[in-house]
Structure 1
Amino acid sequence: MKQLECDVAIIGAGTAGMSAYRAALQHTPSVLLIEGAHYGTTCARVGCMPSKLLIAAAEAAHAIGAADAFGVRAQLNGIDGRAVMRRVREERDRFVGFVTASVDDWPAAHKLWGMARFIAPGRLQVGDHTQVAAKRIVIATGSHPVVPTGWREALGERLIVNDDVFDWQDLPASVAVIGTGVIGLELAQALHRLGVRVRLLGRSRKVGPLTDPALQPLAAALVAAELPLSLEARDIQLEREGADEGAGVRLRCTCPQGGPIDERYDYVLAAMGRGPNVASLDLAQAGLPLGPGGVPKADRRTGQIGDSGVFIAGDVLDERQLLHEAADEGRIAGDNAGRHPDVRVRPRRAPLSVVFSDPQIMLAGASHAELIEAGTRFETGEVSFEDQGRSRVMLKNRGALRVYGERETGRFLGAEMIGPSAEHLGHLLAWCAQRRDTVQQMLDSPFYHPVVEEGLRTALRQLQRKLRMGPVPVERCLDCGPGA
């Protein structure tokens, strides 16, 4: 058994682990990066990038179908599923290559291959070949798709997760997507627009991550207007039809609206979220305080678990499973692991989440649910995009935006939205939340005409009136209508 010692051991070489490695190196050259699956990020391999490649193809097909509304006569002559998936795989591999190339350049003495588990506080067993004594440890083991017990055994290769989609050689004829969160929504809509017969099922009433009770039913209605959507699905039964390789899946369930469902699909896509990779770490041997799901409790501002020399970062935290959050957490955890015991509090960026559905969804700053839970006194301004000038010009006039401001100070707190250009508006609003801008300061900023951002101005004006922070001139473009 090989014995190694280091100042900092990092378990996991994804986004958080790689950021932690770079940060820890600023304080000590004695850093060991341990990985037992693959170098690289969830984003590049099975997340952000391949899903956006599939969505981009779906948007191209959808644009052709929508062209007639503009008086542009276009015809979709077909979708080459093999060509679609070939581009997805090739570009995915290109993105992964950029990530793995950087790891390849790191010193061999800084890398150790194998699955790690704790055998005592500060001691790790890696594979069956090495034991590591580390003064400090960063846990950055990432997450995995959640699959209900028994589904894999019942369905075999006909049960897939998002990781499997991006290795397809061709598009299937039909897929049932179970789970109406970000992953399920994005993939279901993209596959539907690429000609795959899809049903999206959820066990609750929610579609996507929106928490504002005024926006949740709107999101469900907009999705249901485009593709088959079944919410509050009960008694979901999945049965493999036959043992031969081409056998599909029979799906049966009951929904309050629409009645019983009895349909057949080539595949069932389980998209019910991702869980933290902690089962194999044997954390009971680490002497760490554990929270729900066996995830160690940590200070988000430092990454430190209790007062120990162990830190945690990335998707394994099971909080905001987003690349930029994982990168920040890795940098904070790695920096503090490297400088320990001189642990320092690091400021966190304003929250920002985007869903690349159509319409897009975004949450910036504090969400409605977070404000309610915190007992914050706030007011809400809103705008519908149905009659918003630029949105109507582009035939993107669907959805709504709601913005939140603090009563006593007039400070902008956050926003939720489903509508056009949400990915861009989300950035603007997250920046405002991070700067702690007031609603008046936001209104004093320039707004061009005609742009979607004018809808934001409409919502901010309504919010300012409710906050009673002073007179706000009500301007309106007579040519464009409300929310211009």
Structure 2
Amino acid sequence: MKHIKTDIVILGAGSGGLSVAAGAAQMGADVTLLEPAEMGGDCLNFGCVPSKALIAAASVAHTAFRSETFGVTTGAPQVDYAAAMDHVKRARDTIAPHDSQERFEGLGVRVIREAGRFVSEDEIETDTCRIKARRIVIATGSRPLVPPIDGIEDVPYLTNETLWDLRERPDHLLIIGGGPIGIEMAQAHRRLGCAVTVIAGARALPKDEPEFSALLLDRLRNEGIEVVEGTNATAAARDGDGIVVDTDDGRRFTGSHLLVAVGRKANTEGLDLDKAGIKTTKTGVEVDDRLRTANRRVYAIGDAAGGLQFTHVANYHAGIVVRQAALGVPAKARTDHLPWTTYTRPELAHVGLTEQQAREKHGDRLRVVRLDYDQNDRAVTEAETAGMIKVMVARGRPVGASIVGAQAGDLIALWSLAIANNLKMSQISSMVAPYPTLAEINKRVAGAYFTPTLFENDTVKGLVRLVQRWLP
């Protein structure tokens, strides 16, 4: 067995692990990266990249249906599902070199394509190597969670890892799960010509503002998607060439394909964490606000850390760990400025506190300002007026924001910046956005915060009249 000494060993070559490896290696640390499966992890191979590529293909198909809005007449789109999946593959193949073993070896990273497990507090063992490291980073990601539904093991169900192998379009896609993955794939497949039924155990998109998710779900239902909320799938079985799903309210749903999208489970099995004194929780590895485990030599990041399961969170965690493991500078992770987006059309995005959370925390000090998309000229010209923005403000500073509408995922970034840097609404309102752009929505809602003070205040009006009398 080969013995290796290294500064940092990383378990997992997903987004977080790759970011730690690239950052630490380029700063001069000796870095060893372990990955038994595909480089790039879930995001590149099964998650963000393929799903957004399929959503893009579906959006093109949908554009043909609404072309008459712009005075353009087209025929009904002819969808080639296999060709759409080819687009998904091309997108992955284009991005893959950025995450490749060759690129990271070029950065000076020692890449070993094997799984690692702890054998002591500072040693990792693979099938061929024993690695002693000053610091260890657990970045093993997560996998689809399959609930204990009666008969599910006998049904050819899909997850986000196997969906991309399809070449023939499903006639009727049943989706168990009303979270972002389930909702995104529901709309994409509906726009590509499938019948779609979503079965959600509670409210669909439960982490988002109820009024915003309701607007989005209305859009999905108007597009012909059946969204069933508040009922749990209890059994699944084959029905000839199809699949049937029974629910706890006595209903039965029949489809040609089944996608299970009820959440994800952190990959911690097989790591022998107990040999390193590392504790776990129900959601992943237990960490403190510096992302350290009970073993201070070891960090956990991204999905493995059991928090928000997003690629950008893993990348953010990577930056926190690089500062500590490579530079020895203490750094703490925050969650209040971490945004998320559901990439439907319209998009649904959020950062910080919801209105209910903000009211519970700030009480009477909270003010809520909002603006509808139909007040934005660019939205009008693009016929994208269905949407709104809502910002929760306490003591003149934003503490949360929700957006449903075109490019919500891009627009929410400003509010993440504001919360991360404790900016005031006055600073945001002083921004100048080019006209006409959707970015003006952010500026205008910030300006709306000052409307009662500047334009609905008798004292201000009296002062202005007095000033006008004295002006030359």
TM-score by length of 2: 0.87
Q: Residues 55-454 of structure 1 correspond to what in structure 2 (within 5 A)? A: 55-100=55-100, 101-105=102-106, 110-127=110-127, 129-149=128-148, 154-156=153-155, 158-207=156-205, 209-210=207-208, 212-226=209-223, 227-242=225-240, 247-253=241-247, 261-299=251-289, 302-306=290-294, 308-339=296-327, 342-345=328-331, 350-368=337-355, 371=358, 374-375=361-362, 377-385=365-373, 389-406=377-394, 409-454=395-440
Unpaired segments of 5 or more residues in structure 2?
A: 458-472
- Structure 2 match to 1:480: none
SS at match of 2:235: strand
Displacement of 1:362 in angstroms is 0.9
| Distance change >3 Å, CA 370–CA 99, structure 1 → 2 | farther
Mapped partners of 2:91, 2:437: distance in 1: 32
- Structure 1 match to 2:14: 14
Displacement of 1:251 in angstroms is 1.9
Mapped partners of 1:374, 1:22: distance in 2: 39
Displacement of 1:388 in angstroms is 5.0
Mapped partners of 1:30, 1:447: distance in 2: 45
Question: Which deviations, in whole Å up to 9, do the C-alpha atoms of 1:353-398 show, x marking residues without a partner?
Answer: 2221011111134444653565574211122335654434432221
- Structure 1 match to 2:454: 471
Displacement of 1:241 in angstroms is 2.6
Mapped partners of 2:93, 2:433: distance in 1: 40
SS at match of 1:326: helix
Q: Contact 1:248–1:265 (CA<8 Å) still a contact in 2?
A: yes
- Letter paired with 2:24: A
Moved over 6 A (4+): none
- Letter paired with 2:341: V
- Letter paired with 2:160: N
Alignment root-mean-square deviation, CA: 2.8
- Letter paired with 2:344: S
Mapped partners of 2:422, 2:291: distance in 1: 24
Displacement of 1:47 in angstroms is 1.5
Displacement of 1:46 in angstroms is 1.3
Mapped partners of 1:9, 1:282: distance in 2: 16
Mapped partners of 2:437, 2:283: distance in 1: 45
Displacement of 1:263 in angstroms is 3.1
Mapped partners of 2:284, 2:435: distance in 1: 52
Question: Which deviations, in whole Å up to 9, do the C-alpha atoms of 1:202-261 show, x marking residues without a partner?
Answer: 111132641x3443433333332222111112353211235xxxx321122256xxxx54
Matched residues, percent identical?
Answer: 26
| Distance change >3 Å, CA 236–CA 398, structure 1 → 2 | farther
TM-score by length of 1: 0.85
- Letter paired with 2:52: K
| Distance change >3 Å, CA 153–CA 237, structure 1 → 2 | closer
Displacement of 1:117 in angstroms is 1.7
Displacement of 1:463 in angstroms is 3.3
Q: Contact 2:201–2:233 (CA<8 Å) still a contact in 1?
A: no
Mapped partners of 1:136, 1:443: distance in 2: 44
Displacement of 1:120 in angstroms is 2.5
- Letter paired with 1:223: L
SS at match of 2:189: helix
Figure out how many residues of one structure are paired with residues of the other and give that number: 453
Displacement of 1:447 in angstroms is 4.7
SS at match of 1:162: coil
Q: Contact 2:105–2:111 (CA<8 Å) still a contact in 1?
A: no
Q: Contact 1:354–1:360 (CA<8 Å) still a contact in 2?
A: yes
Mapped partners of 1:379, 1:353: distance in 2: 22
| Distance change >3 Å, CA 457–CA 25, structure 1 → 2 | closer
Displacement of 1:163 in angstroms is 1.6
Displacement of 1:472 in angstroms is 4.5
Mapped partners of 1:137, 1:431: distance in 2: 30
Mapped partners of 1:180, 1:155: distance in 2: 23
Question: Which deviations, in whole Å up to 9, do the C-alpha atoms of 1:166-185 show, x marking residues without a partner?
Answer: 22223222211111111111
Displacement of 1:193 in angstroms is 0.2
SS at match of 2:283: helix
- Letter paired with 1:381: V
- Structure 2 match to 1:477: none
| Distance change >3 Å, CA 410–CA 124, structure 1 → 2 | same
Displacement of 1:84 in angstroms is 1.2
Mapped partners of 1:107, 1:28: distance in 2: 9
Question: Which deviations, in whole Å up to 9, do the C-alpha atoms of 1:242-283 show, x marking residues without a partner?
Answer: 5xxxx321122256xxxx543322211111122211122121
- Letter paired with 2:322: G
| Distance change >3 Å, CA 282–CA 94, structure 1 → 2 | same
Q: Greater CA deviation, 16-25 or 185-194?
A: 16-25
Mapped partners of 1:26, 1:454: distance in 2: 39
Q: Contact 2:233–2:245 (CA<8 Å) still a contact in 1?
A: no
- Letter paired with 1:73: T
Q: Contact 2:8–2:134 (CA<8 Å) still a contact in 1?
A: yes
- Letter paired with 1:187: M
| Distance change >3 Å, CA 367–CA 306, structure 1 → 2 | farther
